[in-house]
């Protein structure tokens, strides 16, 4: 645990990692916002599904590829995100409304493919899967292990959603498409010109994919997209929001095409209801994530 937080869980701006000294226009430390405690609701998550964990790819130099074009600064990001153990695990979770009854095909399960400093995610309902982001080059095997951990295989993948065009998110798209032969690939319309795989279906926001709503969240890149399952209360945010210190933060400005536009997108996300937040960088938040995002948005003034 790092930083200083009030009893109410509100964060006090602090310098989380020395390697963040070189980010931001003024070298300001990232402000981290933690989820606030609140009463559990019917949407409260059921917690661990008990599926255990699956070891996956370890941190390798290839994972230092840039989120954006400035590889030098990503080394700091990568170092910040590597777990103390140096290993990676794929937790599998089940998200559903806390209603009585048997598990149905509508129940959403998810698994994180922790690739070191960036993550991909597998979402599953029944025997159908969607993959969100593909990590850097060489990540397909690890994503395949996440599928296996959910009891699925490549032929069950019907959707591959790319949140944005950066190489740490689309690096394995060709490998993934070669395996997931039944999948449709999606990405934000404005990022399509820099995603060299085919075919890719352009998104503008408002589309329904697999029970997830695509939401346009420009700023990090012009075509950045997130997806949210409103019923399960799960948001997959790509790089629209960065995870840090168990909470959320704005990402380093140098990785953002348009910071003001990104803040407007975060304000938009702050108006949504979700418990679980899965981000491209940093640890997932599984309870009360929307409170942290609301506090982040409020900090913009
Ligand atoms: Zn990234
Ligand atoms: Zn990015």
pLDDT tens profile 214-224: 999 999 999 99
Read off the pLDDT of residues 95-145 as tens digits, 9 standing for 90 and up: 754 434 444 556 999 999 999 999 999 999 999 999 999 999 999 999 999
pLDDT at 92 over 60: yes
The reported pLDDT for the residue numbered 40 is: 47
Phi, psi of 25 (to 5 degrees): -70, -30
The reported pLDDT for the residue numbered 91 is: 58
pLDDT at 18 over 80: no
CA of 296 to the centre of ligand 1 (A): 19
The reported pLDDT for the residue numbered 105 is: 52
The arithmetic mean of pLDDT across residues 186-210, rounded, is 95
pLDDT at 80 over 70: no
Is 39 in contact with 45 (CB distance < 8 Å)? no
The reported pLDDT for the residue numbered 156 is: 98
Residue 73 lies in a domain: yes
Taking all residues of the chain, what is their mean pLDDT, rounded to a whole number?
Answer: 79
The reported pLDDT for the residue numbered 37 is: 78
Residue 38 lies in a domain: no
CA of 89 to the centre of ligand 2 (A): 22
Q: Which residues surround ligand 1, an ion (CB under 5 A)?
A: 67, 168, 239, 280
Residue 132 lies in a domain: yes
Residue 38 — very low, low, confident or very high, per pLDDT cuts 50/70/90?
low
Residue 163 lies in a domain: yes
The reported pLDDT for the residue numbered 301 is: 86
The arithmetic mean of pLDDT across residues 181-204, rounded, is 95
pLDDT at 24 over 80: no
CA of 280 to the centre of ligand 1 (A): 6
Q: Which helix (H) or strand (E) holds 179?
A: helix 173-179
The reported pLDDT for the residue numbered 197 is: 84
CA of 203 to the centre of ligand 1 (A): 19
CA of 67 to the centre of ligand 1 (A): 4
Is 111 in contact with 93 (CB distance < 8 Å)? yes
CA of 185 to the centre of ligand 2 (A): 18
Read off the pLDDT of residues 239-273 as tens digits, 9 standing for 90 and up: 999 999 999 999 999 999 999 999 999 999 999 99
Q: How far apart are CA 14 and CA 288, in angstroms?
A: 22
Residue 198 — very low, low, confident or very high, per pLDDT cuts 50/70/90?
confident
CA of 105 to the centre of ligand 1 (A): 31
pLDDT at 207 over 80: yes
Is 143 in contact with 162 (CB distance < 8 Å)? no
Residue 21 lies in a domain: no
Q: Which ligand is nearest to the CA of 63?
A: 1
Residue 31 lies in a domain: no
Residue 262 lies in a domain: yes
Domain that holds residue 91: 44-97+104-298
Q: How far apart are CA 119 and CA 125, in angstroms?
A: 20
The arithmetic mean of pLDDT across residues 147-164, rounded, is 98
CA of 53 to the centre of ligand 1 (A): 24
The reported pLDDT for the residue numbered 27 is: 55
Residue 14 lies in a domain: no
CA of 4 to the centre of ligand 2 (A): 28
Over the Cα atoms of the chain, what is R_g? 18
The reported pLDDT for the residue numbered 32 is: 95
CA of 262 to the centre of ligand 2 (A): 12
More confident residue, 291 or 84: 291
Q: Which residues surround ligand 2, an ion (CB under 5 A)?
A: 67, 166, 239
The reported pLDDT for the residue numbered 30 is: 83
Token code pair at residue 254: 């140098």
- Total domains present in the chain: 1
pLDDT at 51 over 50: no
DSSP at 30: P
The reported pLDDT for the residue numbered 106 is: 63
CA of 208 to the centre of ligand 1 (A): 24
Q: How many residues does the chain have?
A: 301
DSSP at 8: T
CATH number at residue 228: 3.60.15.10
């Amino acid at each position: 645990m790092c930083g200083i937080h009030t009893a109410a869980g509100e964060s006090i701006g602090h310098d989380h990692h020395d390697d963040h000294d070189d980010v931001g226009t003024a070298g300001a430390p990232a402000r981290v916002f933690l989820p606030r405690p609140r009463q559990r609701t019917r949407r409260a998550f059921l917690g661990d599904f008990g599926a255990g964990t699956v070891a996956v790819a370890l941190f390798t130099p290839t994972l230092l590829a840039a989120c954006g074009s400035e590889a030098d600064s990503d080394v700091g990001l990568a170092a910040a995100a590597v777990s103390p153990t140096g290993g990676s695990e794929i937790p599998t979770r089940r998200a559903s409304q806390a209603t009585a009854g048997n598990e149905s095909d509508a129940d959403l399960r998810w698994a994180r493919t922790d690739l070191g400093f960036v993550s991909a995610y597998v979402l599953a309902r029944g025997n159908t899967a969607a993959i969100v982001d593909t990590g850097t080059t060489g990540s397909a095997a690890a994503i395949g292990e996440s599928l296996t951990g959910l009891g699925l295989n490549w032929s069950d993948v019907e959707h591959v959603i790319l949140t944005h065009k950066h190489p740490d998110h689309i690096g394995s798209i060709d490998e993934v498409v070669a395996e997931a032969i039944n999948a449709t690939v999606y990405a934000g319309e404005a990022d399509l010109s820099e995603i060299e795989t085919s075919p890719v279906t352009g998104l503008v926001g408002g589309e329904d994919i697999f029970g997830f709503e695509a939401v346009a969240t420009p700023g990090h890149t012009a075509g950045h997209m997130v997806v949210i399952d409103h019923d399960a209360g799960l948001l997959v945010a790509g790089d629209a929001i960065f995870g840090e210190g168990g909470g959320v933060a704005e990402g380093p400005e140098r990785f953002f095409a348009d910071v003001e536009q990104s803040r407007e997108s975060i304000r938009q996300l702050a108006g949504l209801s979700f418990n679980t937040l899965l981000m491209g960088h940093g640890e997932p938040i599984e309870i009360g994530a929307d409170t942290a995002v609301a506090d982040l948005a409020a900090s913009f003034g």
